[in-house]
Chain A
Amino acid sequence: MTARSKLYGVIGAYREPEPLVSAARTLRDAGYAELDAFTPFPVPALDAILQTRATPLPLLVLAGGIFGAVASYALILYSVMVDYPIDVGGRPLNAWPAYLVLAFEGGVLGAALAGFVGMLALNRLPTYYHPIFNAPSFTFARDDRFYLLVKSSDAKFAEARNALRRTGAILVEEVAP
């Protein structure tokens, strides 16, 4: 038990995405829960297997957009109707066709900021120190490696090493916490 608690997890490395995907599927079927994969480019096939989700993000972006638009228009209305109503070229105070342009730009800005900030927040970035980098062979992009991680918190962590080897990982190593 002690050895196990010392670790963050074990990773298995593969040369191509496909074996990684199949390996992930096998482990998932074998009942492993605490899995993660590290790939140099997005591998959509993994999403279903690892049940990665981005649910809040689209809503966040939508909310940001609505807020931006409403806030812009509200500010404009306050300024021209309440704070300093003034006759500009005989135009009505609430010249909505003009203001909609600004509301639109405000909406776009709000949406974009919400999306970007949301992505970073949900991914907990920046995370400059992460245990995975302790794995001696781990690299994001130095050479052709696709990794599957079984976290030490997994119930079946004890068998993880063998399980990974069985999936044909070219090497399996432990990841210090």
Chain B
Amino acid sequence: MSATAEPLDLARLRAEAVERGPQFWRSLEELADTAAFREYLHNEFPRLAARFDIAPDRRGVLKLMAASLAMAGLTACKKADHIAPYVDKPADVTPGRALHYATALSIGGYGFGAIVESHEGRPTKVEGNPDHPASLGASDAIMQAACLGLYDPERSRTPTKDEQAMSWDAFLGEVAALRDEIGNREGAGFALMIGPITSPSEAWLIDRLRAAYPRMLLCVHDPLAADGERTALQQVFGRATATLPRLGQADVIVSLDADFLGEGPGRLAHARAFSSRRIVRDGATTMARLYAIESTPTITGASADHRWAVRGSAVPAIAAALAARLGLGADVNAPVPSAALDAIAADLRKAAGTGLVVAGPHQSADVHLQVHAMNASLGSFGLAVDYIPPPDYRPPGAVSLGALVEQMRRGAVTALLVLDANPAYTAPGDVSFAEALVKVPRTMHVGRYVDATAKASRWHVPLAHDLERWGDIRAFDGTASIIQPLVQPLYGGHAASEVLSALLGEYSASPLDTLRTYWREIGGLDDAAWRAAIQRGVISGTTSAPVVSNAAPVLSSKVNPAGTGIEVRVVPDPWLRAGEYANNAWLQELPRPLSKIVWGNAALVAPATAGRLQLASGDVVRVARDNNAIELPVSIEPGHPEEVITIALGFGQSAIGQVGNGVGANAFPLRAGEALWFLDGLSVSKAEARAAVVTTQHHHSMEGRDIVRNGTLAEYVANPTFAKDREPAPSGTLYPPWPSREEAWAMVIDQTACIGCMACVSACQAENNIPTVGVDEVANGHEMHWLRVDRYYTGSVDNPGVVFQPVPCMHCEEAPCEEVCPVNATVHTHDGLNAQIYNRCVGTRYCSQNCPYKVRRFNFLDYQPFAEGTGSPLAALMNPDVSVRSRGVMEKCTYCVQRIERGRIEAELADQPIADGAVTPACAQACPTQAIIFGNRNDPGSRVRRLHEHPLDYALLAELNTRPRTTYLARVSNPNPALAKLEEPVHG
């Protein structure tokens, strides 16, 4: 058991912190300095003494003591170690058994339903909630990383005024003073800035606040918001409306710069619906077809059957040209071959009601008008597309950031409260929020980190994490969920509703009361419905009904001409979003789906453009808008539109934490005025420096090897076994077979369904205590992810096909790794698992040497020292059912053996055989498209058996005769025959 039985030793912690360099747990220094905390922990529970800084209230104590007990699972036991049992055990807790709670996580203000696994009060793992429309049981990297975010020791820990630690009550005092100040003038001079929210109860509070203070300024600041769709549909429907594409209903989909698989609050649901129309199972001979026209490489484009990369400002022309071919408006010439557009239009018309055009959120209102008109003319309403009232809170009369800053500069704002937003970092280059802020006498910031805005404000109050607060939230389709806490705020954070209530004068209102009141009185939930809502994680009946559309489509007359010269395409980073997750090491180190870049952003350019500008990957370029300039390394991306540079947002922060500070470059200052996503008129020059672009994949071609086998639907229909036929004749083996009477665990990965979203990788990291190693170690090739998603380009570099291949351990029946291990550290189990026994491993690395798939990972250095009792909160993040590996030990995918063994034990206790689907590895559970199927190959009824017998099934590197248990279904695409000769089809 971890060796911190003695009280917290600050000297040791500091020493370690200092010599450790920039790692998360260094900030224990600050933590350990508060005398109260020291004293409190000392007599509370020694083992966890080093781990937490929490408010000494009963529930928290209980949970954490339980955690201390569960800590037993983490590291090895020694003689005469101590056990700290509960004093008063909560009824529902059985030490050693995990509990699962339904809740929701807020990403960009929108809700994603989650089931959170909790070990004696320690949330350790997030899964999707099958009942929730936005997750459907799946999850993504940001959801998976939520637990790390919860324990992040660098989250702000205490209210501060002018950087002096204050109490919550002191803050309430400040709020009271504020109320006195603005009370008698209807809130004039007071401005409230909030981030994007969909929470009904918070919206209700804010509305009450605006009622109480009519002249107060409200600013909803969402740096990732785009108003094109809202404006267009406002024009069409006369009221705020949002598009809800029904990809499950669509036979032909045209994406006009829409990355519906990777972006937006509905991405997981869209991915599920899309793949449901793409996977070919026995008998099926039809598939949806996707045309993607995009301004930067996305995973949606990667999944498309036909893809054109164009500059973002050219999309309106393409929309108009396509509309014209559907009989709407006049034709204009577009950068996409006319013949191609003809074919697309024909295809759409053929599909009629099941044809769908989706416009990218960043595109202008004109494009959205065109798209709405096209869908209207296709008669897809109610079939392939619906329109709903937008779930997010955008009250009329709210002022823009620019307007607010103007007021501040004119001194018209005497008090500003920023609630869960970071404008000092995310403001565009032409909005100087920071210098306007100094003109405001009374500034308050409520957020999870002491970020740029917190540092610029006089007051800062820690905001509670989603896993430690009460609240509610809406999903992309309007469905509301209750957010329930799994643990008391670890670092004394407060819910947004508490702050809002305080502004309303309700200083002691608990978030739960506020929430319950709202849902009882406005939401109309009686206690039964409330309990049901908490249990299911979804409030039934809250899904928005589609608006019945009798509105005539409006065609936009003008078509903005495409820009010229280098255009900078700004995109949100898929994981860091607007930078709020920048201090999350899992997300920083998770390779970006296409570029595979980690720990930073780069200027992505097309090979041709790089050639013209004489840029090589790693050259630093200087991108500047008048006095705002950033420097960042170039990365050449095949399939990138020419004369365009893509830069991801969310990087280059200076005040988020040890993990995120100074990682990458901050592209927000490049924005100005209306140009938020497609920036032109920027100066791009080559700097003399070079900087490493750290990626996890260095070779991008399959070198003509039969690794990812793919074919068209036509080929599949003609010869279903085309993939198998390419295999060499099955060679025999000299070895007598080993009996496989029991389960034969196996996995099948459907490469048609896989969209390369990386959810599986992050889920694996969360489930299996996989460390992050930091940018330098990744650069050394020491990354630890057990599961990697290989991305290969096929065809031309200018518009290549993209294929993804998740590669976990193959669990070969005749494993080359096992035979060469000198110490029996990797051997076979009776159910066919390739077991890796960490505590037996001496680290010869011969197994990795002899693994043709190179799926083994080695602890080159000591990556998780905190597991040895150095006292980091991160130790509480560990999954107690999985060993934490020490330095010098080989590790690899185990098919989540801890879940298999749990399933086996449950089954034996119930005296049942292990049912198909009873055991699901983390990767399969997270996958939005259910591309990973796991089960018992010996069970004739199991899905994995059926898929293993599917004609598309093939084994990777079958010619080596390793007999992998993990097999693949060949990738099938559905290109339009009419276009086949026009451009190289995606499958190469």
Question: Which A residues have a C-beta under 8 Å from some C-beta of B?
Answer: 86-92
Chain B 727-748, CB within 8 Å of chain A: the 1/0 string?
A: 0000001011110000000000
Tell which of B353-361, B605-613, B808-816 binds the partner.
Answer: B808-816
- Cα distance A92–B819 in the bound complex, in angstroms: 11
Provide 5 A-B residue pairs closer than 8 Å at the C-beta atoms, listed in order of the A residue: A86-B828, A87-B830, A88-B819, A89-B814, A90-B815
Decide: B827 and A90 in contact? CB cutoff 8 A. no
Chain B residues within 8 Å of A, Cβ to Cβ: 733, 735-738, 812-819, 821, 824, 827-830, 963
Q: Are A87 and B819 in contact (CB under 8 A)?
A: no
A87–B828 CB distance below 8 A: yes
Within the complex, what minimum Cβ distance (angstroms) separates A43 from chain B?
50
- In the complex, are the beta carbons of B827 and A91 less than 8 A apart? no
Residues of the A chain whose Cβ atoms lie less than 8 Å from the Cβ of B963:
90
Q: Are A91 and B824 in contact (CB under 8 A)?
A: no
In whole angstroms, how far apart are the Cα atoms of A88 and B963 in the complex? Answer: 14
Q: A91 contacts which chain B residues (CB < 8 A)?
A: 735, 814, 819
Closest A residue to B813 using CB positions: A90
In the complex, what residue of chain A is closest to B733 when comparing beta carbons? Answer: A90
| B830 neighbours in A (Cβ, 8 Å) | 87
Query: B738 near A87 (CB under 8 angstroms)?
Result: yes
Q: How many whole Å from A83's CB to the nearest CB in chain B?
A: 12
**Complex alpha-carbon distance, A88 and B813, angstroms:** 9
| A88:B824 contact, CB within 8 angstroms | yes
Asked if B814 contacts A90 (CB within 8 A), the reply is yes
Question: How distant is the Cα of A5 from the Cα of B757 in the complex, in angstroms?
Answer: 102
B-chain residues with CB within 8 Å of residue A87 when the two chains form the complex = 738, 827-830
Find out whether the CB atom of A90 lies under 8 angstroms from the CB atom of B824: no
A169 to B738, CA, bound (A): 80
Enumerate chain A residues within 8 angstroms of B821, measured Cβ to Cβ.
Answer: 88
Q: In the complex, A88 Cα to B829 Cα: how many Å?
A: 9
For B829, the chain A residues whose CB sits under 8 A away are 87
Q: How far is the CB of A133 from chain B (nearest CB, A)?
A: 51
Instruction: Tell me the total A-B contact number using a CB cutoff of 8 A.
Output: 36
A93 to chain B, nearest CB (A): 10
Q: How far is the CA of A91 from the CA of B815 in the complex (A)?
A: 9
Q: Which residue of A lies closest to B737 (CB)?
A: A90
Residues of A within 8 A of B737 (CB): 90
Interface residue SS majority, chain A: loop
Q: How far is the CA of A89 from the CA of B962 in the complex (A)?
A: 9
Name the residue of chain B whose CB is nearest to the CB of A86.
B827
Instruction: State the CA gap A7–B835 with chains docked (Å).
Output: 76
Contact B817 A86 (CB under 8 A): no
Chain B nearest Cβ from A71, distance in angstroms: 20
A92 proximity list for chain B (CB < 8 A): 735-736
Q: How far apart sit A87 and B814, CA to CA, in the bound complex (Å)?
A: 10
Cα separation A17 to B508 with both chains bound (whole Å): 115
Least CB distance from B585 to A in Å reads: 35
| C-alpha gap A90/B824 in the complex (Å) | 13
> A116–B963 Cα gap in the complex (Å)?
50
Chain B residues near A90: list those with CB within 8 A.
733, 735, 737-738, 813-815, 828, 963
Verify B815–A89 contact, CB threshold 8 A.
yes
Closest chain-B Cβ to A39's Cβ sits at a distance in Å of 50
CA distance A91 to B824 in the complex (A): 13
Q: With both chains docked as a complex, state the minimum distance between the C-beta of A33 and any C-beta of chain B, in angstroms.
A: 59
Name the A residues within 8 Å of B819 (CB-CB). Answer: 88-89, 91
Closest to A90 in B: B814
Q: Within the assembled complex, what's the spacing in Å between the Cα atoms of A90 and B827?
A: 9
CA distance in complex: A87, B812 (Å) = 12
A89 to B850, CA, bound (A): 12
A105 to chain B, nearest CB (A): 15
Contact status A88-B735, CB under 8 Å: no
A91 to B961, CA, bound (A): 13
CB distance from B776 to the nearest CB of A (A): 35
A91-B817 Cα distance, complex, nearest whole Å: 12
A86-B828, A91-B814, A92-B736 given; 11 more Cβ-contact pairs under 8 Å = A86-B827, A87-B830, A88-B821, A89-B816, A89-B819, A89-B828, A90-B735, A90-B814, A91-B735, A91-B819, A92-B735
Q: Tell me the bound Cα distance from A90 to B735 in angstroms.
A: 7
Would you give the shortest CB distance from A29 to chain B, in whole angstroms? 64
Alpha-carbon distance between A92 and B738 when the two chains are bound, in angstroms: 8
A86 and B824 form a contact (CB under 8 A) = yes
CB distance from A121 to the nearest CB of B (A): 36
Can you list the 9 inter-chain pairs with the closest CB atoms, starting with the nearest? Answer: A89-B818, A87-B828, A90-B814, A89-B819, A89-B815, A88-B818, A86-B827, A87-B738, A90-B813
Query: Which residues on B sit within 8 Å (CB–CB) of A88?
Result: 818-819, 821, 824, 827-828
Q: Which of B812, B821, B828, B829 has most chain A Cβ within 10 Å?
A: B828
A88–B735 Cα gap in the complex (Å)? Answer: 11
Residues of A within 8 A of B814 (CB): 89-91
What's the minimum C-beta distance from A89 to chain B, rounded to whole angstroms? 4
Within the complex, what minimum Cβ distance (angstroms) separates A98 from chain B? 9
Inter-subunit contact A89/B817 (CB<8 Å): yes
Assembly CA distance A93 to B86 (angstroms): 49
User: In the complex, what residues of B have CB within 8 A of residue A86's CB?
Assistant: 824, 827-828
How far apart are the CA atoms of A92 and B733 in the complex, in Å?
Answer: 11
Within 8 Å CB of B733, what residues of A? 90
Closest to B850 in A: A89
Task: Tell me the complex Cα distance, A91–B828, Å.
Answer: 10
- List the A side residues contacting B812 at CB < 8 Å: 89
Task: A91 to B737: give the CA distance in the assembly, Å.
Answer: 9
How far apart sit A89 and B821, CA to CA, in the bound complex (Å)? 10
Q: How far is the CB of B831 from chain A (nearest CB, A)?
A: 11
The winner among A87, A90, A92 for most chain B CB atoms within 10 A is: A90
Complex alpha-carbon distance, A70 and B932, angstroms: 50
CA distance A94 to B790 in the complex (A): 38
The CA of A89 and the CA of B828, in the complex, are separated in Å by 7
Determine the distance from Cα of A104 to Cα of B817 in the docked complex, in whole angstroms. 25
* Chain A residues whose C-beta falls within 8 Å of the C-beta of B817 in the assembled complex: 89
> What's the Cα separation between A92 and B816 when bound, in Å?
14
> Which among A86, A89, A92 has the highest number of chain B CB atoms within 10 Å?
A89
* Cα(A92)–Cα(B735), bound, Å: 6
Closest partner residue, chain A, to B815 (CB atom): A89
- Within the complex, the shortest CB–CB distance from B25 to chain A, in Å, comes to 39
- Rounded to whole angstroms, the CA-CA distance of A29 and B816 in the bound complex is 72
Give chain A nearest CB distance to B646 CB in angstroms.
46
Taking CB atoms, residues of chain A closer than 8 Å to B824 are 86, 88
Q: Which residue of A lies closest to B834 (CB)?
A: A89
Alpha-carbon distance A86/B833, docked complex (angstroms): 13
Closest beta carbon of chain A to B660's beta carbon, Å? 44
- Give the CA-CA distance A2 to B260 in the complex, in Å: 119
B827: chain A residues within 8 A (beta carbon): 86-88
Quick one: closest B residue to A95, CB to CB? B819
Nearest A residue (CB) for B739 = A87
In the complex, residue of chain B having the shortest beta-carbon distance to the beta carbon of A84: B824
Shortest beta-carbon distance, A17 to chain B, in Å?
53
A44 to B812, CA, bound (A): 64
Instruction: Quote the shortest CB–CB distance from A88 to chain B (angstroms).
Output: 5
Residues of A within 8 A of B813 (CB): 90
Bound complex: CA A26 to CA B975 (Å): 108
Q: How far is the CA of A87 from the CA of B740 in the complex (A)?
A: 11
Determine the distance from Cα of A154 to Cα of B963 in the docked complex, in whole angstroms: 80
Task: Give the complex CA separation of A87 and B835 in angstroms.
Answer: 11
A136 to B288, CA, bound (A): 110
In the complex, which residues of chain A have a beta carbon less than 8 angstroms from the beta carbon of B816? 89
The residue on B at minimum CB distance from A79 is: B824
Minimum distance in angstroms from A81 CB to a CB of chain B: 14
Closest residue of chain B to A98, judged by CB? B819
Q: Which residues of B contact A89 (CB under 8 A)?
A: 812, 814-819, 828
